[in-house]
Amino acid sequence: MTIVTFPRHRRRVVAICAATVALHFVTINWVSGRIGASEREHDEEKDIIKAELRLAPPPAPPEVKPAEAPPKPKPKPKPRKAPKPPEPAPPPPDTAVAETGAGEPAPAAPAEPETPAAASQADAAPAPAAVESPQPPPAAPAETQAKWKVALPPSAKLELDVKRKDADGTKWSGSASIVWQQDGASYKVTQEAGVTIVFARVNLMQVSSEGTINESGIAPTTFNEKRRNRSATATHFNQQEQKITFSASERTIPLAPGAQDRATVVFQLAAIGRADVNQYGKEMDILVGEDRDAVVYRFQLVGEDELETEMGKLVTWHLTRPPKPGSYNSRLDFWIAPSLDWYPVQIRVTEGNGSVTTQTVTRISK
């Protein structure tokens, strides 16, 4: 075998070249490793998922619904007491018509006081079903009404002066006449009143009444009334059937003894005083038939008055019918002269609105 030997300087070159190659290999290997590491680090950074903790917002308060009230326990029904049978209604008093008048309800009887226990039981117990009761029959005539002594004045014609003052202050003047006729068994009375406007007389009212005379005094049969701009009306007093009926309404009123109409009531009052003036000492209730109803007039004695008239100074008895709530709102005043056969010598009507009409006698002829 042949061994090749290189000179020393060539061995040095080969060693340097080998060292250089080895160094390049190491460098390249190192660089490639760094590059791969950086790429791996980059890839790892890409693969990292960043997570951040944030405080969640406070939850909204839940909507609070109003608590429903628990249903009230139903009370146990109490046993109903058997209703007492209705007591029979007492018969109407004889003076019911005279005391309350037509169209005016009679005052209710005072109720008996309830004990607290009874009141609580009444509140707790269910009310029984209402039972319709039949309407009570019309009140019977007031047969026990005070029977006045009467002495009717003789027949006469009264002429009167009329003065009226309206509520607004307007004044009117006119004249009136009253013709009273009676023969002891029957009577007739007529009244007319009017005012003068520019020298012309305007008739405002015309009324008439006729009937009989009995132990109670004047007993009307028919009352007729005609007012200006209004239809004529008639009121009938049926003495046999003891009832009052009206052409202007469908009412039927029991006829009480001593019942009058608007034309005769003043002569009935005169007959009461003429028979016995002491009868004026107490209130006098008289049922008076009007154009469509009948109402109790309650007269009171005011006292003794002295009037100045065209017939001179007259001493009179002053009677009044004050307003009665629920029945009439006007005031009616009569002045009756004992020295002139108890004829009415002055009549005054004061209306609810303040208007006043006064009729004063100027002449009496028999």
- What does pTM read for this prediction? 0.62
Compute CA 83 distance to the chain's CA centroid, rounded to the nearest angstrom: 32
Q: Is the pLDDT of residue 53 over 80?
A: no
Sign of CA dihedral 21, 22, 23, 28: positive
Q: Token pair for residue 67?
A: 């608590």
Report the alpha-carbon distance of residue 309 to residue 277 in Å, rounded.
23
Q: What is the pLDDT of residue 336?
A: 98
Distances (CA, A) of 56 to 59, 123, 142: 8, 62, 98
Q: What is the pLDDT of residue 308?
A: 96
| Of residues 101, 99, 103, 94, the one with CA closest to residue 251 | 103
Q: What is the pLDDT of residue 241?
A: 95
Q: What is the pLDDT of residue 321?
A: 97
Q: Is the pLDDT of residue 192 over 70?
A: yes
Report the alpha-carbon distance of residue 67 to residue 256 in Å, rounded.
71
Tens of pLDDT along 311-344? Answer: 999 999 999 999 988 888 999 999 999 999 999 9
R_g of the chain, CA atoms, integer Å:
58
Compute CA 345 distance to the chain's CA centroid, rounded to the nearest angstrom: 41
3-state percent breakdown (helix, strand, coil) of the chain, nearest 5: 20, 35, 45
pLDDT, the chain, mean: 76
List residues bridging with 306 in a β-sheet: 315
Q: Is the pLDDT of residue 78 over 70?
A: no
Q: What is the pLDDT of residue 146?
A: 59
Helix or strand holding residue 120 (H, E): helix 116-124
Q: Which domains does the chain have, with CATH numbers?
A: 156-365 (2.40.360)
**Average pLDDT for residues 168-189, to the nearest whole number?**
97
For tokens 């009887």, the residue is: 109
Report the alpha-carbon distance of residue 269 to residue 153 in Å, rounded.
10
Q: Is the pLDDT of residue 167 over 90?
A: yes
**Average pLDDT for residues 13-21, to the nearest whole number?**
72
User: What secondary structure letter does DSSP report for 183?
Assistant: -
Q: What is the pLDDT of residue 12?
A: 75
Q: Is the pLDDT of residue 57 over 70?
A: no
CA angle 221, 100, 189 (to 5 degrees): 25
Strands of the chain (E only): list them: 156-165, 171-182, 186-197, 200-214, 217-227, 233-238, 243-246, 252-254, 260-261, 284-289, 294-309, 312-321, 331-337, 343-350, 356-365
Tens of pLDDT along 273-320? Answer: 999 999 999 999 999 999 999 999 999 999 999 999 999 999 999 999
Q: What is the pLDDT of residue 47?
A: 45
pLDDT band at 199 (very low <50, low <70, confident <90, very high): confident
pLDDT band at 83 (very low <50, low <70, confident <90, very high): very low
